[in-house]
Amino acid sequence: MRFAILLITAFVIIITVYNQESPEVDFKQVTTGNANHVGEIIQKKGESVLIEERYTHFNQPLSLIWITINDETDIFTDQQEETTLTKLKKGDMVEVWNDGMILESYPAKTTALKIRKLQPK
């Protein structure tokens, strides 16, 4: 009986955490249409962010991708104002332009040339 209660409690907690709502973004309206990746930051680790793709302009399957940010990466707000990696946080929706190289690991890995933080509607 205790095991069943523990199992149900764990299930409820997992569902609650997993279903936390992300900001709503109308990608067709707020994206530029030419970014390589569009999605939500689901993790930050050092100089990298893990993006869960939410939209694609290129009819490619959506996936997870680690984005490395270096000194040459330009980071902007939706108003085209410069910002920094420290201002990007888990849950932010972003557009990412990469350098054309993608490591085919899982999740994939690439280096960002430009990141644009999208504004929720």
What's the average model confidence in pLDDT over 32-45? 87
The Cα–Cα gap between 65 and 74 comes to 18
Contacts of 107 (CB under 8 A, 6+ apart): 50, 63, 64, 65, 66
> Which of these ranges, 74-78, 83-87, 98-102, has the smallest mean pLDDT?
98-102
Check residue 26 and give its pLDDT. 53
What is the three-class DSSP state of 22? coil
Check residue 30 and give its pLDDT. 54
pTM for the predicted model, two decimal places: 0.72
Check residue 4 and give its pLDDT. 73
What's the average model confidence in pLDDT over 7-27? 58
Tokens 């999605």 belong to: 39
